[in-house]
Structure 1
Amino acid sequence: MMNSTNVSYFILSAYFDTGLFKYLCFMIVMSLYVLIVGSNLLLVVVICMNRSLHEPMYLFLCSLFVNELVGSSGLFPFLLVQILSDIHTVSAPLCFLQNFFLYCYGGVEYLNLAAMSYDRYLAICYPLQYNTRMTFNRITVLFAVTWLCPFLLCVVMTSLSSSLQLCGNIIDKVYCDNYSVVKLACYDTSVNNVYGLVSTSLIIFCPLILIFYTYMKILRVCFSGSKQTRQKAVSTCTPHLASLLNFSCGACFEISQSRFNMNNLPNTLRIVLSLYWLTCQPVFNPLLYGLNMSKIRIICKSLVFAKM
């Protein structure tokens, strides 16, 4: 155990020697990153450049794709450097910066999905009043809450973590994780733990409660409405629910690994589970929405075939 000190760097102990296979891992991760950036950036450009897509539903989707770019860029360049490196260390400032970006990504993702569920709730339950309810001011407030709340919460979280006196510098992950840093503290971390519980409740459970409420209302309308109403609800809500389930499973894997001892699992499996919430969602969402949203699919096809 180290004495109480201001740690200048952290050791990422989850990496293991793969020999020449590290170059194969590098190519796989690089290809995945290029796919994520290319697909999400394409959809952001398509939505921004086409006036027919300047509707609340597509604007929230654009926000979702921008967040995937932010989250993946906070992870993949770092992973690529670490894969090729023989010494898996990271400076303390860079570690806390990565914490900030990754936790912001998670918070924005949940709040964005909650805003999307609220939009679908108004469109399905109040179709005739949708335009008067989903006003420009309301959209602006939803965007502000979606992006500013996680930003402010993560600023406080990072400040609390970076001010801790640490008695160690070994993180059993392939990237920096705030909870892993807090566990290295020499003294009482009650403030960090209470703040973490409160911020987690605000970022995860409050959006989930809103999503659950809106879908209960949507289901009630579907069961009492026409066949056309049910078809509309299914076509617009299925991708959203699939995205929510995918991200929640990844977040559950990550929280379980951080809070409980998973040393009995193979190291490779633990690494895959810890990366799931940061890698699968940015791949999953563009494919899910790009294939299911007919307007986006038609415009993407026209762009691709126009250049051939």
Structure 2
Amino acid sequence: MGNGTYFYLMLFENIGSIKYAFFTMAFIFYCAVIYFNVLIILVIFMEKTLHQPMYILISCLSINSVYGTAGFFPRLLKDLLSDAHSISFEACLVQSFVIYSYASFELTILMLMAIDRFVAISKPLHYNNIITTRFLTVSIFIAWLYPVIFVGISGLLTSRLTICGNKLLKVYCHNYEIVKLSCVNNTINNIYGLIVTITTIFIPLSFIFYTYIRIIIICQRSTQKFRSKAYQTCIPHMVILLNFSVGIFLELTLSRFVIGELPIALTVAISLEFIVIPPFVNPIVYALKLPDIRKKLWHLIKASK
């Protein structure tokens, strides 16, 4: 079978008339994700007092959420209403690239957030000299380019494979699942996939956890007032980090080690956690936990009525 083939997303089969209920829920959920994240972006963009590194990085998370869900939800909604759940090889690679570059970018931005909070807490007097506009701009650009290159190369390697199967046990395109359908030696893809996993997931996560451990140690040695203020800005980031880390860990475990051993409904739920829950939860956490965003957000909502 050549690479001009179509894949069939098998988990959409046999869902019957309940697909309309799923479509309605997915559509409402997607609209909510877009609405909440666009609100966060607008508030930070329009309010000059929020033009600070921490808030700019928060807006990057929201932009990434819009980007990642755009690679998943429109296709999901189409497949839920369609009788033919097929997708071309090229479109499948594009969707896989969008979803996994979104996941990688989420981690690199969370890593920059950890650096920002560490400098703010450990060197408050030198913060503005270290986290400059130039430093932030270059860091965000590298944080975006880093996953694009690594995930993009993975897609290019997959595009060179000869595919001998066309059934994907997913509701979205997954690069590793495509590789498993090849009928030629895919050792290079598997080795590179391991490199991508280490460089775009485990290295950023390890650095983030190390940074927050250092922050906790510094806070424990400080005054109650300082500790309270530090935790107020760090806890939202840590909640979001924990939520996303769990989703990524479940997805990696499911795709690499647990194959066909779980009920289909649970398999779908686990595989979607990292792309569905964080884009919805992130803006809510920041709106509720950070007073500056909450106040400006409320003013923007009132002004729009």
TM over 0.5: yes
Match for residue 28 of structure 2? 31
Are the counterparts in 2 of residues 165 and 185 from structure 1 also a CA contact under 8 Å? yes
Check if 1:122 corresponds to 2:119.
yes
Structure 1 residues 51-109: Cα deviation after superposition (integer angstroms, max 9, x where no partner): 10000000000101000000000000000000011121111111011011011101100
Check if 1:168 corresponds to 2:165.
yes
Greater shift after overlay, 129-138 or 108-117?
129-138
Match for residue 174 of structure 2? 177
Match for residue 201 of structure 1? 198
Shift of residue 185, structure 1, vs aligned partner:
1.1
SS in 2 for 1:14: helix
Task: Determine which of 211, 214, 224 is the counterpart of 1:227.
Answer: 224
Q: Which runs of 5+ in 1 are unaligned?
A: none
Are the counterparts in 2 of residues 247 and 281 from structure 1 also a CA contact under 8 Å? yes
Shift of residue 260, structure 1, vs aligned partner:
2.2
Are the counterparts in 1 of residues 3 and 89 from structure 2 also a CA contact under 8 Å? no
Q: Which runs of 5+ in 2 are unaligned?
A: none
Aligned residue identity for 1:59: I
| Alpha-carbon distance in structure 2 between the residues aligned to 1:52 and 1:202 | 35
Are the counterparts in 2 of residues 262 and 270 from structure 1 also a CA contact under 8 Å? no
Shift of residue 16, structure 1, vs aligned partner:
2.8
Task: Determine which of 6, 30, 37 is the counterpart of 1:9.
Answer: 6
| Alpha-carbon distance in structure 1 between the residues aligned to 2:131 and 2:70 | 32
| Alpha-carbon distance in structure 2 between the residues aligned to 1:269 and 1:216 | 33
Check if 1:304 corresponds to 2:301.
yes
SS in 2 for 1:5: coil
Aligned residues with identical type, % of pairs:
39
Check if 1:250 corresponds to 2:254.
no
Check if 1:105 corresponds to 2:105.
no
Shift of residue 7, structure 1, vs aligned partner:
4.4
Tell me the TM-score normalised to structure 1 length: 0.96
SS in 2 for 1:90: strand
Structure 1 residues 246-297: Cα deviation after superposition (integer angstroms, max 9, x where no partner): 1111111111111124423221111111111110000010101111110110
SS in 1 for 2:163: coil
Are the counterparts in 1 of residues 3 and 159 from structure 2 also a CA contact under 8 Å? no
Q: Which portions of structure 1, spanning 4 or more consecutive aligned residues, are displaced by more than 4 angstroms?
A: none
How many positions carry a matched residue from both structures? 305
| Alpha-carbon distance in structure 2 between the residues aligned to 1:79 and 1:221 | 45
Are the counterparts in 2 of residues 67 and 108 from structure 1 also a CA contact under 8 Å? yes
Match for residue 87 of structure 2? 90
* Alpha-carbon RMSD: 1.2
Match for residue 151 of structure 2? 154
